[in-house]
Structure 1
Amino acid sequence: MTIVRMAAVAEEFDRDLEGDFARIEKLVAAARAEGVHLLALPEACLGGYLADLDGDAEQPPALRVDGPEIARLATIAGDMVVCAGYCEEDDGGRRYNSVVCVGGGRVLGRHRKVHQPLRENASYDSGDSFAAFDTPVGRIGMLICYDKAFPESARALALDGAEIIVCVSAWPGSRTDAPADLAADRWTRRFDLFDRARALENQVVWVSANQSGTFGSLRFVSSAKIVDPGGDVLATTGVAPGAAVAEIDVAAALTAARRSMGHLRDRRPEAY
């Protein structure tokens, strides 16, 4: 598929897993009605984010990638490609902040968050790799929230052939000296800058989903968006909940962006 209609969601999710699935069903139905092929849901949309970053409050439900909840997500997605964040438990009982990509009734790919801010390591183990994977809408790489603050994360995915990078987040506003208007918040500005910079420097399509509303002491900045390989925002929710929807010829956009100044092609790794 070359022309891809994609949507990035800013929405509020919490510990009520049944309520989260009800929201996801509505979001998928609305996206399907708009002809969306790729839908990005926020970090921790299955079970909510951490209410207490010191690890003392109730934790999100731990789900297995081969468990019934992810199978249910795949059923809801149907032939749409859907990325969604959740708390993953492995065979050894370790917990990870993870994102899964489903489509066609199966798991297409997954990623465990590598970079952990604000004592998130009190609740989660850390992932240790970045890898792209093939899907019906193109080759995708996935990141989670703070991962995007590190240029190497997105670059590793781009070098692995990612055409589209989906970054799911639970990115809050400032916790100190916070303005009443999230649009004026310095953390909102950083969130938006990272999205545009990572798209531009890697010349990829960037799909950024985020939590909205509040959870515990956190107030999320929303700001879901689609960014083209030139760093231009094609669609955004701003600091409100909703879905940013855009249609893009991925192959043509990448070819045009990389024709004269190919940032991957023109690298000089021996000098770094």
Structure 2
Amino acid sequence: MAVIRIGAVSAHFGRNLEAGIERVAGLIAQARAEAVGLLVLPDAALGGYVDLARPDPETLPPSIELDGPELGRVAALAGEIVVCLGIREASGTQRYNTAVCLSGDGILGTHRKVHQPAGESLAYTAGERFAAFDTPIGRLGMLVDYDKTFPESARTLALDGAEILACLSAWPTSVTNRAPRMADDRQSRLFDLYDCARAAENQVVLASSNQTGTMGGMRFLGQAKVVGPGGDVLARTWSKAGMAVAELDVAAEIARARRVLAHLSERRPGAYA
């Protein structure tokens, strides 16, 4: 893999699908101007996230089919750029919190969020698997939001050959015990901790996006970032809207991280049972 530029986005997305696609178009244009090859947009970029503080069946996000016109428009906008974004996927009678990876060639891979926090089952059915897939910028794995809390999620993708993890989030401040300052919020600390830990323990590159602003009773953290395979933050947005961009040779950085201590090959699965 050659040197690529990875962009991870913090931005607000609400219920209006047309406004969401226009915002995606603007971010893709910015990414293209900055020669970004992989652009990771937040969870629920098209249609917004469910308000877990006050889940209401009457105000759930709109549903989108994988072969529908909305994702077709995004693919056309993406062109040569690999873009990851989140939707509320309609599949028959089921609805999933789904991360979609696409380019001008169409959908490259999908991931249905497996782990659900309290209240989310009112809006989504849980996914059942983690699998990496090949893209023009390398082998990629995706996580949605709460998935990255569980080490097994990222480890499964790394063992499946993922070189880059795209973590798409709509991650809020603490709903039950919000701190006066966002920097002191427990969920703010955990969001950063999980990003760095998942990259370092698997020695992969991680691009973490997140929503900003509010949805009902929730306030989203932002804090988009690109993390290297040693757990070091290469670029970040902090709590503001923006795009964190880092340029790196993914294969070379992973090889360097694994030169002396190779976590995946040095595992002892027999001792973990």
TM-score range, shorter-chain basis?
A: over 0.9
CA distance in 2, matches of 1:133, 1:186: 33
Which residue number corresponds to residue 16 of structure 1?
Answer: 16
Which residue number corresponds to residue 206 of structure 1?
Answer: 206
Which residue number corresponds to residue 121 of structure 1?
Answer: 121
1:258-269 mapped onto 2 (5 Å cutoff): 258-269=258-269
Partner of 1:23, secondary structure, is helix
CA RMSD of aligned residues (A): 1.0
Over 4 Å off, 4+ runs: none
Which residue number corresponds to residue 186 of structure 1?
Answer: 186
* Contact preservation (8 Å) 1:203, 1:258: yes
Displacement, 1:176? 3.0
Which residue number corresponds to residue 46 of structure 1?
Answer: 46
* Contact preservation (8 Å) 1:132, 1:162: yes
Which residue number corresponds to residue 143 of structure 1?
Answer: 143
Q: Does 1:80 align with 2:89?
A: no
* Contact preservation (8 Å) 2:204, 2:228: yes
Which residue number corresponds to residue 68 of structure 1?
Answer: 69
- Per-residue Cα deviation, 1:114-145 (whole angstroms, up to 9, x for no partner): 00002101111010000000011100000000
The AA in structure 1 aligned to 2:24 is I
Displacement, 1:4? 1.3
The AA in structure 2 aligned to 1:71 is G
CA distance in 1, matches of 2:99, 2:187: 22
How many equivalent residue pairs? Answer: 271
Which residue number corresponds to residue 36 of structure 1?
Answer: 36
Change (3 A) 1:57 1:218: farther
Long gaps (5+) in structure 2: none
Of all paired residues, the percent bearing the same amino acid is 55
- Per-residue Cα deviation, 1:153-192 (whole angstroms, up to 9, x for no partner): 0000000000000000000001233223212211100000
Between stretches 174-183 and 233-242, larger displacement belongs to: 174-183
Displacement, 1:57? 4.2
Which residue number corresponds to residue 3 of structure 2?
Answer: 3
Partner of 2:116, secondary structure, is coil
CA distance in 2, matches of 1:37, 1:47: 25
* Contact preservation (8 Å) 2:14, 2:49: yes
CA distance in 1, matches of 2:59, 2:129: 28
CA distance in 2, matches of 1:20, 1:3: 30
CA distance in 2, matches of 1:7, 1:95: 28
Partner of 1:189, secondary structure, is helix
* Contact preservation (8 Å) 1:51, 1:57: no
Q: TM-score, normalised by structure 2?
A: 0.97
* Contact preservation (8 Å) 2:77, 2:104: no
Displacement, 1:98? 0.3
CA distance in 1, matches of 2:63, 2:126: 15
CA distance in 1, matches of 2:93, 2:37: 34
Partner of 2:180, secondary structure, is coil
Q: Does 1:98 align with 2:104?
A: no
- Per-residue Cα deviation, 1:3-41 (whole angstroms, up to 9, x for no partner): 110100000000010000111111110110000000000
CA distance in 1, matches of 2:123, 2:135: 31
Between stretches 177-186 and 25-34, larger displacement belongs to: 177-186
Displacement, 1:66? 1.1
CA distance in 1, matches of 2:243, 2:108: 23
Q: TM-score, normalised by structure 1?
A: 0.97
CA distance in 2, matches of 1:17, 1:180: 32
The AA in structure 2 aligned to 1:149 is T
The AA in structure 2 aligned to 1:75 is A
